[in-house]
């Protein structure tokens, strides 16, 4: 695991943007396409805006990308809570990505279980078709102040401990909604996983994840441990030190 500590949120966002450019360009030097799982939430918005800026938009060949998503709230696509909506508005609408290669979770006109199964089929088709032992070239994750990542929330035992499915669904009582999420096996098979964490509200969670005894039902982010890939934590000083 490699820990990157930046002075503040702006510096953090710039640092990981620069790192992503280098990592993705290095990947594309050895293969035709790269696959990336993006994260929702508030923290990556600045990063996505930087990647979509005039300075950065041509530094990554988005036409060679296959874009996936880590988790989604089971709301309509035009709902302000939709992760896909945020990712489109801050990043994908501004770069030369092929819409046919954007793979988001379906959250309309079907049941959550059906949506999760359908997204798993998308993943299996893509990665098996490419005969890959690994999954994403890069999985970008966030972490909540309760140490959740993806939609793996504390005490959601079934979803956290899922070992067979690559995608599942759950009911989150505190948000009064279903959520669709990737599971640990598919993320841990990625070539590289990068957490992006900022703010003093995350200090306790980050400390627990990094230093407390392994207990993913309390600290779900601990279950993300790439089998053969890299693991990076990109954090600002506020998250690191409070």
Kindly report, residue by residue over 192-213, the tens digit of the pLDDT: 999 999 999 999 999 999 999 9
Q: What's the pLDDT at 129? A: 62
Q: 14-68: per-residue pLDDT in tens?
A: 999 999 999 999 999 999 999 999 999 999 999 999 999 999 999 999 999 999 9
Checking if the pLDDT of 140 tops 80, the result is yes
Beta bridge partners of 140: 194
Q: What's the pLDDT at 136? A: 97
Per the structure, the count of domains in the chain is: 1
Enclosing domain of residue 6: 2-180+191-241
Residue 195 in any domain: the answer is yes
Q: What's the pLDDT at 131? A: 62
Name the pairing type of β-strands 230-236 and 2-6.
parallel
- Average pLDDT on 172-180 reads 94
Q: What is the pTM of this model?
A: 0.96
Checking if the pLDDT of 230 tops 90, the result is yes
Residue 56 in any domain: the answer is yes
Checking if the pLDDT of 133 tops 90, the result is no
Checking if the pLDDT of 130 tops 70, the result is no
Residue 166 in any domain: the answer is yes
CA distance 6 to 236: 5
Residue 85 in any domain: the answer is yes
Residue with tokens 């999954």: 135
Residue 185 in any domain: the answer is no
CATH number of the domain within which 228 lies: 3.40.50.1360
């Amino acid at each position: 695991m490699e820990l990157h500590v930046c002075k503040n949120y702006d510096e953090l966002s710039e640092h990981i943007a620069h790192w992503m450019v280098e990592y993705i360009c290095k990947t594309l030097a050895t293969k035709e396409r790269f696959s990336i799982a993006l994260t929702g939430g508030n923290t990556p918005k600045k990063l996505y805006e930087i990647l979509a800026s005039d300075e950065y938009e041509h530094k990554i060949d988005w036409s060679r990308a296959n874009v996936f998503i880590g988790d989604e709230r089971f709301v309509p696509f035009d709902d302000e809570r939709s992760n896909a909506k945020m990712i489109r508005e801050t990043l994908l609408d501004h770069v030369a990505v092929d819409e046919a290669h954007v793979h988001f979770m379906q959250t309309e006109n079907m049941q959550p279980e059906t949506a999760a199964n359908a997204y798993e089929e998308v993943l299996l088709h893509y990665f098996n078709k490419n005969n890959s032992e690994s999954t994403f070239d890069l999985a970008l994750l966030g972490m909540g102040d309760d140490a959740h990542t993806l939609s793996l929330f504390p005490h959601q035992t079934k979803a956290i401990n899922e070992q067979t499915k690559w995608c599942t669904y759950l009911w989150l009582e505190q948000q009064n909604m279903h959520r669709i999420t990737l599971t640990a096996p598919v993320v841990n098979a990625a070539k590289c996983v990068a957490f992006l964490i900022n703010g003093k509200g995350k200090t306790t969670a980050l400390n627990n994840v990094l230093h407390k005894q392994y207990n993913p039902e309390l600290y779900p982010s601990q279950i993300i441990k790439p089998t053969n890939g890299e693991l990076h934590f990109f954090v600002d000083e506020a998250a690191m030190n409070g």
